[in-house]
């Protein structure tokens, strides 16, 4: 499929949601882009993504203000709020911000909600490229249960495709490289919205600019894996993922179910990496942590997350304020040996799961084998796996990728003492 040529390896980047919620400002996007260019670009990190409600002038936190006026052009399309994104003045949209990101050798992305703005429907504004109007293509019973900005689009109506075409033509003019579409992969009210996903896929093809298509939220339905692969580059396997152990522990089962659907250009997504400085504009929420904080994950849990995301080959989207990264956090993002497993590993699978011991493996094109050992228990424990179960006959040399340490020759098994909620990642030759 043509769109699988985009994001041939799992996308790596930064998304503003975990630290700034719905209220990120242009100077913060530019600052994080500059940090990425200076510290992370050479390791493969490249996408800078502005998350939800960049069109909401009064957004100040992670909480959505219901039924407020949004910035919109004369053709029913949301545009950046100039008070938060000054370079959007005079109808420039995100063009100047995207140009800045591109000047750093990086790529620019945005978040959108599926559908058409409610205020466009209520005002019955025109749609570019058609005589249809917003009210005529809206599906007013198709709403998002947690955000009031949009109505769904009725794909059967004349003008529906033209509306999405006009959106993505605009994004192409701005220089957008990555679009995260929300309230579409799964919905608490309706399930997956396949018709609108297909409208969006056609609109991206029509606009002529390669764009990564990311679908949220999750969990995306496994029974629709073929349709997701046929239309998207990445899709969420989970609802919002935050820095609490039960959510990380639950990701092992999700990865096991989705592993067979991982491949070039189509990536089941474990969601963002809630690392570093989080919740800067957070409001009360049990899941998100409800406060300005550093990640609640222990260092061993952070290693577990990075190891699982890497061997499974989830997209890696960092969620913290990067300019505040300490040495430890930066080290998690710049381990070239681990990132090589993420970039080049294939055939990831769970070898076994017994009690609190979990082992995953993959391999690269040169025939080297990766092995990830996890201890999901609350005490230090030795985790073992036979070389035979890793697909290795005879002996193998092993290297610890997190610690950059050769372990010598193994005869029959690989084993390691793993801390509580911890992990180790090896390459065997």
User: Residue 185 sits in a domain of what CATH number?
Assistant: 3.20.20.70
* C-alpha span between 300 and 417 (Å, rounded): 13
List the beta strands (DSSP E) in 70-226. 107-113, 116-117, 138-143, 150-153, 178-182, 212-215
301 and 273 together in one domain: yes
Spatial strand order in the sheet of 12-15: 267-269, 234-236, 212-215, 178-182, 107-113, 47-50, 12-15, 316-318
Number of compact structural domains in the chain: 2
pLDDT, residue 187, reads: 83
Token pair, residue 352, equals 């076994």
Q: What is the tens place of the pLDDT at every residue in 271-324?
A: 999 999 999 998 755 455 568 999 999 999 999 999 999 999 999 999 999 999
Residue 81 is assigned to a structural domain of this protein: yes
Same domain as 352, residue 329: no
Query: Is the predicted pLDDT of residue 376 greater than 80, yes or no?
Result: yes
Does some domain include residue 340? no
Does some domain include residue 225? yes
- Global pTM? 0.96
Same domain, 238 and 324: yes
Per-residue model confidence as pLDDT tens digits over 235-260: 999 999 999 999 999 999 999 999 99
**Do residue 102 and residue 228 come from a single domain?**
yes
- Between β-strands 293-294 and 277-278, what pairing exists: parallel, antiparallel or unpaired? antiparallel
Q: Is the pLDDT of residue 151 over 50?
A: yes
Asked if residue 24 belongs to a domain, the reply is yes
The DSSP string of 209-227 is S--EEEE-SSPPPGGGHHH
Provide the percentage of residues in the chain whose pLDDT is more than 90.
Answer: 96
Check whether residue 118 and residue 266 sit in a common domain: yes
In a domain, 52, yes or no: yes
Q: Are residues 354 and 330 in the same domain?
A: no
Where does a domain end: 278, 306, 334? 334
The enclosing domain of 423 has a CATH number of 2.60.40.1180
Same-domain pairing of 200 and 326: yes
**351: alpha, beta or left, given left = phi > 0 and alpha = psi -120 to 50?**
alpha
Same domain, 53 and 135: yes
Closest CA to 75 of 21, 37, 127, 31: 127
Give a yes or no: residue 121 inside a domain: yes
- Segment 225-239 shows an average pLDDT of 97
Residue 354 belongs to domain spanning = 348-428
Considering the domain boundaries, does residue 133 fall inside one?
Answer: yes
With respect to residue 415, please indicate whether it lies within any of the assigned structural domains.
yes
Final residue in a domain of this structure, among 334, 364, 381 = 334
Q: Pick the last residue of a domain from 268, 301, 334.
A: 334
DSSP state letter for 364: -
C-beta of residue 341 within 8 angstroms of C-beta of residue 384 = no
What pLDDT does 286 receive? 47
- Taking each helix axis from N to C terminus, what angle separates 26-39 and 95-103, rounded to the nearest 10 degrees? 20
Q: What is the mean pLDDT of the chain?
A: 96
- Residue showing tokens 């890696």: 316
């Amino acid at each position: 499929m043509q769109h699988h040529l985009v994001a041939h390896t799992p996308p790596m980047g930064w998304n503003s949601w975990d630290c700034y919620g719905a209220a990120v400002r242009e100077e913060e996007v530019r600052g994080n882009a500059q940090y990425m260019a200076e510290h992370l670009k050479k390791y493969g990190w490249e996408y800078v993504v502005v998350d939800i409600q960049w069109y909401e002038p009064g957004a100040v936190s992670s909480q959505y203000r219901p039924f407020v006026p949004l910035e919109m052009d004369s053709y029913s399309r949301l545009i950046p709020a100039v008070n938060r994104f000054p370079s959007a003045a005079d109808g420039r949209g995100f063009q100047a911000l995207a140009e800045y990101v591109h000047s750093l050798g990086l790529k620019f992305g945005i978040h959108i909600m599926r559908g058409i703005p409610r205020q466009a429907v209520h005002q019955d504004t025109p749609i570019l490229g058609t005589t249809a109007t917003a009210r005529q293509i809206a599906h007013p019973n198709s709403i998002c249960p947690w955000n009031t900005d949009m109505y769904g689009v009725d794909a059967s109506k004349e003008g529906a495709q033209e509306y999405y075409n006009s959106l993505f033509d605009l994004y192409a003019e701005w220089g957008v490289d990555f679009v995260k579409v929300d309230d579409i992969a799964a919905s608490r009210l309706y399930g997956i919205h396949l018709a609108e996903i297909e409208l969006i896929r056609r609109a991206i093809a029509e606009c002529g600019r390669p764009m990564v298509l990311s679908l949220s939220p999750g969990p995306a339905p496994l029974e629709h894996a073929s349709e997701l692969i046929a239309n998207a580059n990445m899709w969420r396997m989970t609802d919002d993922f935050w820095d609490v152990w039960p959510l990380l522990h639950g990701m092992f089962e999700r990865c096991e179910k989705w592993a067979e659907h991982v491949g070039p250009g189509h990536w089941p997504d474990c969601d963002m990496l809630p690392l570093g400085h989080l919740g800067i504009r957070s409001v009360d929420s049990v899941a998100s942590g409800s406060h300005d904080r550093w990640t609640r994950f222990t260092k061993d849990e952070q290693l577990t997350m990075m190891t699982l995301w890497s061997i499974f080959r989830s997209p890696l989207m960092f969620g913290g304020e990067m300019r505040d990264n300490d040495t430890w956090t930066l080290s998690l993002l710049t381990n070239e040996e681990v990132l090589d497993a993420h970039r080049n590993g294939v055939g990831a699978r769970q070898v076994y799961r017994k009690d609190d011991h979990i082992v995953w493996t993959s391999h690269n094109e040169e025939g080297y084998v990766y092995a990830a050992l996890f201890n999901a228990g609350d005490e230090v424990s030795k985790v073992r796996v036979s070389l035979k179960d890793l697909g290795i006959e005879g002996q193998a040399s092993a290297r610890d990728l997190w610690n950059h340490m050769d372990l010598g020759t193994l005869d029959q098994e690989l084993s390691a003492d793993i801390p509580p909620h911890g992990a180790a990642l090896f390459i065997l030759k």
